[in-house]
Amino acid sequence: MTDIAAIAAQFEPASGVPIERAVPLGSGNINDTYLVHLKGDGRPGSFRAFVLQRINQKVFPHPELIMANLRAMMEHIAAKAGAPGDADVLGGTRRWELPGVVPAEDGRDYVIDDQGDFWRAITFIEGARTYPKINDARHAAEAGFALGTFQRQISDLDVQKLHDTLPGFHIIPHYLRLYDAGAGSPVPNMDTPEIRYGMAFVAQRRDWAPVLQDACAAGRLRERPIHGDPKIDNIMIDDTSGLAVSIIDLDTVKPGLVQYDIGDCLRSCCNLQGEDAQDLDHVSFELDLCETILKGYLPEVKEFYSDEDYAQLYNSVRVLAFEMGLRFFTDYLRGDVYFKTRYPEHNLMRGLVQFRLAESIEAQETQISRMVRGLIQAL
């Protein structure tokens, strides 16, 4: 078993400061995350706790590029601090901070252990927490604000400065290729109602689903820096003020379409049953929450959003629910090689939840599109 404390001790804040304990943090599907508490108050000016992560190298073959992206992004944001337009957030009228890189004792920004595992540390944001689902309208507006603020902060970072740390991420044709391979050499009993439903679901939508990549190839959308994974559990809310203070889990910051981000945020936040819902009949897309999130989001992004970005909002959320369902369903068919699972049918169930969510989105297309038009006119 890996000695987490021994790894943690190799990072700078733990230099000469005993570690009190290291406890698992969050419920990530890919990497392993721990919160490391230091004894006492740490050294003056230093941390009392930091976040330690083992990056899954089956998913991220070049984890050092994640760190390079993180540094490029942080430098960009720091250089802009205080510039007009950022005064509301970075000027200090409200708390807003992103996790920063915690260096290793040897000055590098990671540690490789004797099994070849890649470990990195980032700062812990104190006095705030994440929630598994949206609690109320205020929380929803803050989730939208957090994503919009983050996208705005990085919108003018030259996308060429970011590495593609995860080729194929959010690219539907890539996921369809994996699906076709998985469906060709599948789990033992394929002839179940659940699998038949999933396969029919994919078959009916596969020609439509690359709609965002098609728009990009046609020059109607363009790649920018994105967060990549702005689901509800990655938005931190201040314990005292109830306001968003951070968007965390920056491993997937890379070139992409802003549509992936807003679509992912909406498909995650507007599904109150969560990704692990057990009762498919109760999975639905909450239109009111969608409106409130967009009210928090759109004012933050309007300075860089194009007409086509607005026009793709409905497609964004429909595609991202489809994509997430396809990825979970495919992982089940391939024998659970990508996402961590807690029970044998976990990925199948997760896939079906997202497919049901996509159906709920489709059933509300007229209402969603009308609501979005109204919000855009009011901006």
Return residues touching ligand GN1 (CB under 6 A).
28-30, 59, 229, 231, 249, 252, 275, 324
Cβ 109 vs Cβ 68: under 8 Å: no
Sign (positive/negative) of CA torsion 243, 55, 226, 212? negative
Task: State which residue, 13 or 198, has the beta carbon closest to ligand GN1.
Answer: 198
DSSP 147-195: HHHHHHHHTTS-GGGS--SSTTTT-HHHHHHHHHHHHHS--S---SHHH
- Alpha carbon distance 255, 261 (integer Å): 11
Least distance CB 30 / Mg ion (angstroms): 6
3-class DSSP state of 11: strand
Least distance CB 45 / ligand GN1 (angstroms): 31
- Alpha carbon distance 55, 40 (integer Å): 28
Q: Taking CB within 5 to 8 Å according to partner kind, which of Mg ion, ligand GN1, none is near residue 59?
A: ligand GN1
Task: State which residue, 237 or 371, has the beta carbon closest to Mg ion.
Answer: 237
- Alpha carbon distance 336, 345 (integer Å): 9
Q: Taking CB within 5 to 8 Å according to partner kind, which of ligand GN1, Mg ion, none is near residue 146?
A: none
Sign (positive/negative) of CA torsion 216, 217, 223, 226? positive
- Alpha carbon distance 32, 25 (integer Å): 8
Least distance CB 308 / Mg ion (angstroms): 27
Least distance CB 251 / Mg ion (angstroms): 6
Least distance CB 342 / ligand GN1 (angstroms): 13
Task: State which residue, 46 or 273, has the beta carbon closest to ligand GN1.
Answer: 273
Task: State which residue, 28 or 99, has the beta carbon closest to ligand GN1.
Answer: 28
Q: Taking CB within 5 to 8 Å according to partner kind, which of Mg ion, ligand GN1, none is near residue 356?
A: none
Task: State which residue, 9 or 258, has the beta carbon closest to Mg ion.
Answer: 258
Closest residue by Cα to residue 372 from 306, 303, 298: 298
Least distance CB 165 / Mg ion (angstroms): 12
Q: Taking CB within 5 to 8 Å according to partner kind, which of Mg ion, ligand GN1, none is near residue 66?
A: none
Strand order across the beta sheet in which 244-247 lies: 128-129, 235-238, 244-247
Q: Taking CB within 5 to 8 Å according to partner kind, which of Mg ion, ligand GN1, none is near residue 359?
A: none
Least distance CB 86 / ligand GN1 (angstroms): 27
Task: State which residue, 130 or 292, has the beta carbon closest to Mg ion.
Answer: 130
Q: Taking CB within 5 to 8 Å according to partner kind, which of ligand GN1, Mg ion, none is near residue 309?
A: none
- Alpha carbon distance 12, 10 (integer Å): 7
3-class DSSP state of 21: strand
Which residues have C-beta within 8 Å of that of residue 59, sequence separation ≥ 6?
30, 166, 338
Which residues have C-beta within 8 Å of that of residue 347, sequence separation ≥ 6?
328, 329, 331, 332, 336, 339, 341
Least distance CB 302 / ligand GN1 (angstroms): 26
Q: Taking CB within 5 to 8 Å according to partner kind, which of ligand GN1, Mg ion, none is near residue 29?
A: ligand GN1
Task: State which residue, 166 or 294, has the beta carbon closest to ligand GN1.
Answer: 166
Which residues have C-beta within 8 Å of that of residue 262, sequence separation ≥ 6?
147, 297, 313, 316, 317
Q: Taking CB within 5 to 8 Å according to partner kind, which of Mg ion, ligand GN1, none is near residue 33?
A: none
Task: State which residue, 229 or 286, has the beta carbon closest to Mg ion.
Answer: 229
Residues that bind Mg ion (CB under 5 A): 229, 249
Q: Look at the block and give the residue holding tokens 């709609």.
A: 211
